[in-house]
Structure 1
Amino acid sequence: MRTVIRCDDPEVDPYRWLTSLVLPRPIAWISSVGADGVANLAPHSFFSVACAHPPIVSFTSVGDKDTLANVRATGEFVVNLATLAMLELVNNTSARFAPDVDEAAALGICVEPSTLVTPMRVTDSPASLECRLHSTQTLGDSTLVLGEVLAFSVREEMLVDGRPDASRLRPLSRLGGNLWGLPPDPVAVRRPVQPDEIV
């Protein structure tokens, strides 16, 4: 037995169903700067990898948010990894601050210069992706933003054998409603290359 929720039902809010069923969703804690020089820091949970070569990540702005306006104006942004230790700060930056307010400054979040782009990166974030705008696409009430990654900035203690280690990064994720996902318990499973390697 299943309950079927039709998206064309005017009483149905697809957003609530999407965010409750597409789980877990990684968080792009995005720092950006507007044309007026005002910095912005906000979490976006519609975030993923879009292409490997060239390296491109994507996030979706549901509505016209300050992050989207800044990225369109300057063509740059930084994705900062959100961790368990930063849960309260990440959540607080989701509040509806006025466009002329720098969330990091207002909340006492330490930032530092990025290497290749103007937006600052979050100092305590274990890893940041410095991005240049590739393109945007309007999808209904939302805008898909594609950004080419120019540089990865990773704290050395997060690396094992030269690669980021999930158990050290301890990333947060978003679930439905007010629920957040805690850092996962990683499980290593060898991927079969050929069907005869399946066990």
Structure 2
Amino acid sequence: MSFISVFSHDPPLLILGIQTRASGNSKDTVANIRRSGEFVVHMVDIAIAKKMIFTGINLPSDVDEIQASGLTSVSSVKVAPPRIQVSPCAMECRVL
């Protein structure tokens, strides 16, 4: 299970809670954030909920979960990781 919580809006801060895999290993999300220091958090509406749940499946690290789910990624504005085109809200983040 993973979750986010908005901590502050001025300055904008959010907190991530990302559990390890059942094996105790870190999820790809954690490895990617540690490597780049950047990430995008998406809000989900009912229209894309099933596809977003699919992105959380434990797939091999070389599989693009966004593409495999049938969603489309586009360039973000402020960070290098892409965002999901149809997400109603994409929060582009940097680790502080």
| Normalised-by-shorter TM-score class | 0.7 to 0.9
> 1:63-116 CA deviation, whole Å, 9 max, x = no partner?
111101100110000111111011210111121111111111222211111001
TM-score (norm 1): 0.44
Matches of 1:52 and 1:110 in 2, distance apart?
Answer: 28
Matched, 1:71 2:33: yes
Larger mean CA deviation between 48-57 and 83-92 belongs to 48-57
Greater RCO, 1 or 2 (C-alpha within 8 Å, sep 6+)? 2
2:51–2:70 CA contact under 8 A, matched in 1: no
- Report the Cα offset of residue 60 of structure 1: 0.8
Q: Does 1:106 align with 2:68?
A: yes
Aligned residue pairs, count: 91
In structure 2, distance between residues paired with 1:126 and 1:84: 10
Q: Please list the CA deviations of residues 111-131 of structure 1 after superposition, one character each: whole Å capped at 9, or x if unmatched.
A: 111001011111111111110
Identity %: 36
| Alignment partner of 1:133 is 2:95 | yes
Q: Residue 82 in 1 paired to residue 44 in 2?
A: yes
Q: Which residue is equivalent to 2:23?
A: none
Q: Which runs of 4+ in 1 moved over 6 A?
A: none
**Aligned residue type for 2:7:** A
Which residues of 2 match residues 140-151 of structure 1 at below 5 A? none
| Corresponding residue SS for 1:48 | strand
> Which residue identity is paired with 2:69?
L
Give TM-score, length-normalised by structure 2. 0.87
Structure 1 stretches lacking a partner, 5+ long = 1-42, 135-199
Matching residue's letter, 2:8: C
